[in-house]
Amino acid sequence: MREEMERFQHEVTAAVRFLAARLGLLPEIALVLGTGLGGLADRIEGAQVIPYQEIPHFPHATVASHAGNLIVGTLGGKRVAALQGRFHFYEGYSTRELTMPVRVLSLLGAKTLIVSNAAGGLKPDFAPGTIMLLRDHINLIPDNPLRGPNIDGWGPRFPDLSAPYDQALMAAMLRCAARLSTPNVTSGVYVAIPGPSLETPAETRYLRQIGADAVGMSTVPEVIVAKHAGLKVLGVSVVANVNDPDNFKPILIDEIISETERCGARLQELLVAFLQEI
Ligand code: HPA
């Protein structure tokens, strides 16, 4: 395990050195663009696009429809690095592997992580298209990116997660939503499941009972690494579908993608306004 961790540290360091030499500017904010939000990358000014394959030891996207680019530039006047295309536990990666890009961006100096995803709504009063800011999360992925020897230079052995999502960032986002009259923006608890199969009706009932408002297959591993590295985090879910255990409808991936794309423009406006404000 120690050797494996040493190898991982070596790989992360190589990626950090490569990017530090290559990038015209160093990011203050890291963005993980989830399903339907890839378009935000087109708004980045002075964009430097680096395909993941060019970055030493970066994971490669296994899903053909997922772009795999690191895009660095300015957005809303802030220096950002956007991960266009993320990695998931269900693809076969360990959570340590799939969070490697977030670790690299933290070591390049990013102080804030903004992470987005498409999610299934569990709360009965959510409608498709609801934008849910993450207030808290539950990890049901049977892995933790920090499992194994701790690298003390990266963060503490037992990172505190009593406040995983930054209150001030959430409040700023809600103020922007009010100013722009963005409809259906709320907050809630996100639960991460391993996937790739979707929930059964009984599982949906269970997820509601344990206190989750939305369910997805990502985000929590990245947030754990960001907190370990001392970053402030804002999490945003686009609720693509709403799952009612007593009237369960098939959850169709094409519908999830089209719904998140429909909401994408609204969330992009909101995020740009938010970046200008913070
Ligand atoms: N379940 C899990 N992940 C999802 C869903 C869902 O209903 N919708 C979008 N991502």
- Beta-carbon count within 10 A of 250 CB: 7
- Backbone phi, then psi, for 181, in 5-degree steps? 55, 40
The single residue listed with the structure tokens 């999830």 is: 256
- Mean pLDDT on 67-93: 94
Mean pLDDT of all residues belonging to the chain? 94
Residue 24 pLDDT: 87
Residue 64 pLDDT: 58
Residue 19, SS3? helix
Residue 257 pLDDT: 86
Residue 65 pLDDT: 54
Q: Which tens digits make up the pLDDT trace of 151-207? A: 999 999 999 999 999 999 999 999 999 999 999 999 999 999 999 999 999 999 999
Amino acid at 109: G
| Percent of the chain predicted with pLDDT > 90 | 86
Q: Which tens digits make up the pLDDT trace of 126-135? A: 999 999 999 9
Tell me: pLDDT of 260 over 90.
no
Q: Give helix 100-107 / helix 2-22 axis angle, nearest 10°.
A: 60
Contacts of residue 173, Cβ cutoff 8 Å, sequence gap at least 6: 133, 185, 234, 236, 270, 274
Residue 35 pLDDT: 79
Q: How far is the CA of 74 from the centre of ligand 1 (A)?
A: 31
The mean-pLDDT minimum among 26-40, 90-104, 182-196 falls in 26-40
Contacts of residue 163, Cβ cutoff 8 Å, sequence gap at least 6: none
pLDDT confidence of 63, banded at 50, 70, 90? low
Tell me: pLDDT of 93 over 80.
yes
> Which tops the pLDDT comparison, 36 or 45?
45
Amino acid at 173: M
> Which tops the pLDDT comparison, 62 or 25?
25
Q: Give whole-number Cα distances, 278 to 29, 136, 273, in Å.
A: 11, 21, 9
Residue 258 pLDDT: 87
pLDDT confidence of 62, banded at 50, 70, 90? low
- Mean pLDDT on 24-53: 91
Please indicate whether residue 199, judged by its CB atom, sits closer than 6 Å to ligand 1: yes
For residue 199, which atom of ligand 1 is closest to its CA?
A: 1
> Which tops the pLDDT comparison, 253 or 112?
112
Please indicate whether residue 239, judged by its CB atom, sits closer than 6 Å to ligand 1: no
Q: How far is the CA of 88 from the centre of ligand 1 (A)?
A: 13
Please indicate whether residue 243, judged by its CB atom, sits closer than 6 Å to ligand 1: yes
| CA-proximal residue: ligand 1, atom 3 (nearest) | 216
Contacts of residue 221, Cβ cutoff 8 Å, sequence gap at least 6: 89, 95, 98, 99, 139, 141, 143, 144, 145, 192
Q: Give whole-number Cα distances, 155 to 8, 14, 67, 149, 152, in Å.
A: 15, 19, 30, 12, 5
Please indicate whether residue 219, judged by its CB atom, sits closer than 6 Å to ligand 1: no
| CA-proximal residue: ligand 1, atom 7 (nearest) | 120
- Among 132, 204, 215, name the best residue to mutate to test ligand 1's pocket (greatest count of ligand atoms within 8 A of Cβ): 215
Residue 264 pLDDT: 86
Tell me: pLDDT of 61 over 80.
no
**What domains sit in the chain, N to C, each tagged with a CATH number?**
2-277 (3.40.50.1580)
- Mean pLDDT on 240-259: 90
For the record, the structure tokens of 18 come out as: 């490569």
